[in-house]
C-alpha cells in the first residue's frame, strides 16, 4: 500500500490534511451555529449550508480551467492565502446582527473561492505524479492513501471544535454563541500548518506544479498524449455520465453535516457508558486505527524486526484501550457535532481492509472496474439510509419532538443508529469517492485534466446544493419519509449507472 510511492504524494497529502482539518472543524458546528447565533430555521440553515458546500465544490471547476492555463502550483498558493483570510473573517465574534451576517457571507464566499483554487488542483498534481510508467500502476492506491490522509484531518476536527468551545466558555467566560468563533479560529491555525508543509516539501512535487501545456521553448517538457477527436468525445461523455450519478451520492452523503446532525441534536441520546462511551473519545478511535494497521503490518511484513515492531504497537494500543476502559467511570456525555468523527474514523480504519479485499480480487482477475465500484457505492449508500429508516420508525416528527423537548417529555434513541449509518455510508464512500477521483484522473483527456477534475467537483457541488431538499422537509413529515427520499434517489442512480456500464468500462 505504502511501498514504492513517490515522496511528493505524502507531501501533498499532508498539506491537504491540514487544510481539511480546518474545513471540517468549521463544518462540524456550522449549521448549529447558524441556528443558535442567528435564530435561523432548519430549512434556512440548510439552504446556507448547502449553498456554501455547492460553491466549495463548484469553484474547483473554475480553478481547474485557470490552472490549465496558469499552472496548478500558482492556483494552489493563491487558494491557501484566500482560505486563510476567509477563516480569519469567520472567526471574528461580531454578534448576531446584520453586520455579523454580512461578514459571515463574505467569509463563506472567500473560503469557497480559495477552496476552488486549492482542492481540485492539488488532486490533479497528485494524479500527475503517476503519469510515468514507473508509478502508473500505483495510481489507485495513491488516491486511497491521499483520501485516507484527508480523513485523518477530519477525524480530529469535531473534537477540536467541541473542546475549543468548551475551553472558551469555561476559561475565558465567553457566551455559547461567541465560543463558536473560537472554534472557527482553529481553521486559521490549520491553514498555517498546511502552508508550512506545502512550501517546506515543495521540492518533492515541484515538477508537477505547471499546467498541462508545456512552456514555450521548454524542450524537456513531458509530451502530452494525443487523442483523436472521437476518443476525446467518448472520454468526456463517459465522465459526464459518472458525474450525473455521483450528484445523488453526495446529496445523500453530505447529510452528515445537516439532517444527520439535526437527528443527532434532536433525537439521539447524548450519554453512553462502557465501550459505547469510549467511542466518543477520539484517542480511543486512534488506538483502534493503530490496532488495525498493526495487524495488517504483522501479517504482511517480511522481516522479523518489522513484525516485532508491529506486535509491540498492537500490544501498546490494546493496553491503552484496556486502561481507558477501567479508568472511565460512569456515563460519558457528548454533543451532536462529535458524531461527525465516525465517518473519517471508519475511512481511515477501513482503507487497508478495502485495499486488501480489492488487491486479492485483482490477483484473481475479479476486481470490479472503477465505474462498477461507483454503482456498488450507490447501492451501499441506499442501505445506509435504510438503517436510518429502521431507527426512525415510531419516532415523532421534528416539530413534535421539539414540543416534547420543551415539555421535558421527549425520548431519545441509541447513538448506535447513527454510528451504524456512518459505518455503512463509509463503505459506500470508499467504493465511490477515491475510485471516482482516480477514474477522472485516468480517463480525462490530457489537455482537459484540470477542467475534468473540476467537473467532478461540479457534480459534487450540485449534490451538495440538493442536500437542502432534506432540510426543507425536516419538520412536519415523519422521519422515515426524509430518509426514504434519499434511499429512492440512490437506488435510481445505481440503476442508471449499471445501465450504461458498458460505455463506461470501454474507456476505463
Position 218 scores a pLDDT of 42
Instruction: Answer whether residue 219 shows pLDDT above 70.
Output: no
Could you tell me the pLDDT band of residue 3, with boundaries at 50, 70 and 90? low
Domain boundary at 333, 364, 383, which? 333
User: Positive or negative, the Cα torsion across 373, 381, 32, 339?
Assistant: negative
303 and 370 part of one domain: no
Position 42 scores a pLDDT of 87
As a whole number of Å, the end-to-end CA separation of the chain is: 22
Neighbour tally for 273: CB within 10 Å: 12
417 falls within a domain: yes
351 and 324 part of one domain: no
301 and 340 part of one domain: no
Q: Quick one: cell of 366?
A: 475479479
The mean pLDDT of 407-411, rounded to a whole number, is: 89
259 falls within a domain: yes
223 falls within a domain: no
340 and 328 part of one domain: no
Position 419 scores a pLDDT of 95
319 and 392 part of one domain: no
Could you tell me the pLDDT band of residue 213, with boundaries at 50, 70 and 90? low
454 and 387 part of one domain: yes
Q: Are 314 and 294 in contact (CB under 8 A)?
A: yes
224 falls within a domain: no
Taking the C-alpha atoms of residue 1 and residue 479, their distance in angstroms, rounded to an integer, is 41
CATH number of the domain residue 161 falls in: 1.20.1250.20
Share of the chain above pLDDT 70, in %: 95
174 and 263 part of one domain: yes
Domain boundary at 333, 363, 382, which? 333
- Selected residue with higher pLDDT from 454 and 322: 322
pLDDT in tens, 47-69: 999 999 899 888 888 888 888 88
User: Positive or negative, the Cα torsion across 223, 225, 228, 234?
Assistant: negative
216 falls within a domain: no
Position 129 scores a pLDDT of 87
pLDDT in tens, 259-307: 999 999 999 999 988 888 899 999 999 999 999 999 988 888 888 888 9
222 falls within a domain: no
2 falls within a domain: no
Residue labelled with grid coordinates 429512492: 488
Q: How many CA atoms are closer than 13 Å to the CA of 438, on its beta-carbon side?
A: 25
pLDDT in tens, 326-349: 887 678 888 888 999 999 999 889
| Residue 307, domain extent | 274-333
Q: Could you tell me the pTM of the whole model?
A: 0.83
107 and 167 part of one domain: yes
95 and 173 part of one domain: yes
187 and 262 part of one domain: yes
Position 216 scores a pLDDT of 45
Position 223 scores a pLDDT of 53
Position 370 scores a pLDDT of 83
Question: Which of 11-25, 190-204, 433-447, 479-493 is predicted most confidently?
Answer: 479-493
- How many domains is the chain built from? 2
pLDDT in tens, 64-93: 888 888 888 889 999 999 999 999 998 888
218 falls within a domain: no
355 and 496 part of one domain: yes
Domain boundary at 286, 314, 333, which? 333
pLDDT in tens, 140-193: 778 778 878 888 888 999 899 889 998 999 888 888 888 899 988 988 898 899
204 and 349 part of one domain: yes
Taking the C-alpha atoms of residue 125 and residue 450, their distance in angstroms, rounded to an integer, is 10
pLDDT in tens, 226-271: 678 888 888 888 899 989 998 999 999 999 889 999 999 999 999 9
Could you tell me the pLDDT band of residue 99, with boundaries at 50, 70 and 90? very high
Amino acid at each position: 500500500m505504502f511501498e514504492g510511492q513517490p515522496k511528493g504524494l505524502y507531501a501533498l497529502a499532508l498539506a491537504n490534511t491540514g487544510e481539511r482539518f480546518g474545513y471540517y472543524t468549521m463544518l462540524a458546528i456550522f449549521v448549529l451555529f447558524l441556528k443558535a447565533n442567528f435564530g435561523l430555521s432548519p430549512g434556512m440553515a440548510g439552504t446556507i449550508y448547502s449553498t456554501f458546500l455547492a460553491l466549495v465544490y463548484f469553484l474547483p471547476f473554475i480553478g481547474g480551467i485557470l490552472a490549465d492555463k496558469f499552472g496548478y502550483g500558482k492556483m494552489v498558493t493563491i487558494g491557501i492565502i484566500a482560505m486563510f483570510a476567509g477563516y480569519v473573517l469567520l472567526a471574528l465574534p461580531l454578534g448576531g446582527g446584520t453586520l455579523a451576517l454580512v461578514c459571515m457571507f463574505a467569509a463563506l464566499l472567500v473560503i469557497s473561492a480559495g477552496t476552488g483554487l486549492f482542492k481540485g488542483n492539488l488532486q490533479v498534481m497528485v494524479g500527475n505524479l503517476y503519469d510515468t510508467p514507473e508509478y502508473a500502476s500505483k495510481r489507485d492506491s495513491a488516491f486511497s492513501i491521499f483520501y485516507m490522509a484527508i480523513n485523518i484531518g477530519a477525524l480530529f476536527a469535531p473534537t477540536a471544535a467541541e473542546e475549543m468551545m468548551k475551553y472558551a466558555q469555561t476559561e475565558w467566560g465567553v457566551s455559547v454563541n461567541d465560543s463558536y468563533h473560537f472554534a472557527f479560529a482553529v481553521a486559521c491555525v490549520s491553514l498555517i500548518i498546511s502552508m508550512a508543509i506545502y512550501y517546506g516539501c515543495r521540492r518533492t512535487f515541484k515538477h508537477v506544479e505547471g499546467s498541462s501545456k508545456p512552456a514555450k521553448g521548454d524542450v524537456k517538457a513531458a509530451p502530452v498524449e494525443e487523442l483523436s477527436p472521437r476518443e476525446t468525445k467518448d472520454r468526456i461523455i463517459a465522465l459526464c455520465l459518472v458525474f450525473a450519478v455521483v450528484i445523488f451520492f453526495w446529496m445523500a452523503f453530505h447529510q452528515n453535516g445537516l439532517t444527520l446532525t439535526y437527528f443527532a441534536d434532536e433525537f439521539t441520546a447524548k450519554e453512553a457508558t462502557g465501550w459505547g462511551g469510549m467511542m466518543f473519545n477520539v484517542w480511543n478511535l486512534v488506538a483502534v486505527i493503530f490496532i488495525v494497521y498493526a495487524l495488517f503490518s504483522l501479517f504482511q511484513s517480511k522481516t522479523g524486526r518489522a513484525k516485532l515492531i508491529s506486535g509491540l504497537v498492537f500490544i501498546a494500543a490494546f493496553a491503552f484501550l484496556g486502561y481507558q476502559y477501567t479508568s472511565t467511570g460512569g456515563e460519558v456525555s457528548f454533543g451532536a457535532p462529535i458524531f461527525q468523527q465516525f465517518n473519517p474514523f471508519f475511512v481511515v480504519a477501513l482503507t487497508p481492509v478495502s485495499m486488501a479485499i480489492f488487491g486479492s480480487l485483482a490477483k484473481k482477475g475479479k476486481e470490479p472496474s472503477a465505474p462498477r465500484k461507483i454503482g456498488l457505492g450507490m447501492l451501499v449508500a441506499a442501505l445506509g439510509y435504510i438503517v436510518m429508516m429502521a431507527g426512525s420508525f415510531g419516532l415523532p416528527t421534528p416539530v413534535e419532538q421539539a414540543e416534547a423537548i420543551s415539555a421535558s417529555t421527549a425520548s431519545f434513541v441509541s447513538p448506535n443508529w447513527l454510528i451504524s449509518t456512518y459505518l455503512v455510508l463509509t463503505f459506500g464512500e470508499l467504493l465511490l469517492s477515491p475510485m471516482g477521483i482516480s477514474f477522472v484522473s485516468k480517463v480525462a483527456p490530457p489537455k482537459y485534466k484540470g477542467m475534468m477534475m473540476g467537473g467532478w467537483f461540479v457534480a459534487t457541488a450540485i449534490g451538495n446544493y440538493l442536500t437542502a431538499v432534506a432540510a426543507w422537509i425536516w419538520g412536519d413529515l415523519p422521519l422515515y419519509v426524509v430518509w426514504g427520499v434519499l434511499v429512492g434517489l440512490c437506488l435510481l442512480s445505481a440503476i442508471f449507472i449499471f445501465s450504461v456500464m458498458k460505455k463506461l468500462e470501454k474507456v476505463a
